[in-house]
Structure 1
Amino acid sequence: MRFFTKKKKKLSNDSMENGVHMIAAADPSSVISEQFKTIRTNIQFSNADKTYKSLMMTSSFASEGKSTVAANLAVTFANQGLKTLLVDADMRRPTINATFSIANPKGLTNYLTDRDFDINEAIYETSTDNLYVMPSGPVPPNPAELLNSKRMDVLIDSLEKQLDLVIYDAPPVLSVTDAQVLSTKVDGTILVVRQNVAEKEAVRRTVELLRHVKANIVGVLLNDTEISGGNGYYGYYGYGYYGKNEKKS
């Protein structure tokens, strides 16, 4: 039985090798950075009864821009004065090392596999005030099991007590089970969908899998959209936010 009809493409390693584009830090007054500020506001007001302390970014498949969105949103929240931590929970295809120029970093897997490890050794300051990052660390053989461990629960609880917001950059939902596991532990999940790349059936299946584990889907971010009236540059990096109450297609 076939669910998805597009041919399998070779995954790009560009973001792993060169990092993601941090426009919210490089040009905070740009049109694109303003879009991220709008997304931040929509997230903050999506639930009047609760302040999100932890958010997970994921997608259906790789190369939809989830790591770019996660990093730029983290900068945007930090610029608002919130003590923000960006955690690279994509242990198979990490990007934080390259994005923030951290060589041979210790990170999340070090803490999850070594009971004597000091978590402070895995948290790095950045050039952006209030923004800290936690790399994924060495690639483990069992990422999903580590994310589903009691030690991960303890870490999430501890980080939420020490910080204003923790953003987890998780693997794609349809590739591995990691994102489903992590979605049950955080306050909210945001699905990044890249226009003209994501397949409708794949997105529907992703939402089904997240709902199956009772993940709190805060909204869907449509990435790489054309901005009306914009030039080519801004059109390439357009972002839109769609909340839980949007009509299904």
Structure 2
Amino acid sequence: MIEILNARQIERARVTGRVVGDILATIRQRCRIGTNLLEIDRWAKELILAADAESCYVDYAPPFGRGPFGHNICTAVNDAVLHAMPRDTRLADGDLLTLDLAIVKDGVAADAAISFIVGDAGAPEDHAMIATTERALAAAIDIAAPGVRLGDLSHAIGSVLTDAGYPINTEFGGHGIGTTMHQDPHVANTGRPGRGFALRPGLLLALEPWVMADTDRLITDPDDGWTLRSATGCRTAHSEHTIAITETGAEILTLPTAG
């Protein structure tokens, strides 16, 4: 089902989105060399509860996971990229960390992800990979408007990723979002322009370009049954925003208040 939200729901989505953006920004500022991933999960829980919201992940139990997920935020480090379960691990200088957060507040969900380098030892290729996912996300948002096809968004994302030399995995991508976290339509990170569902005002999409440095193949961590890692052990990056399609274009809902 593709859900179209009404004006009141869109206004609630703006509030939810700002909470997501603010929580991610706050946790990013707190992350230091030596920060434990379980500490990040505790911070997320505290901030979500303070906002009178709920994490979409705690009870999340799709067919592909060893569910329920049981944590409040995804914490992907280095070769981990999606559905990364927090564990008793401390961050090291130069780690590439992705935080992925989805919450629901007042009946509407929002979802976003950020990737960044911990400390001062980040490799230039890691910064470049993160910047590429951010450019791909911006490219899709820039063209999102009523009448634009899903394939146009996928093509915009895929063109940036491919031009930068990254393989693209099509198993997981962006998705519709609204009163629940994961909805139709699926938004692949590559595709053919002019194909697919035509965007309509009131549609919410979570767009999420993600890449692995030298492979398009994922493996599931056998220890937790959730964390998806690059098959070669290479580093990964992931950028995501929830957007609302408006009468004239698209509005980013998950920017932090200061941003």
TM-score range, shorter chain: 0.3 to 0.5
The structure with the greater share of residues assigned to helix is 1
The structure with the greater share of residues assigned to strand is 2
**TM-score, normalised by the number of residues in structure 1:** 0.33
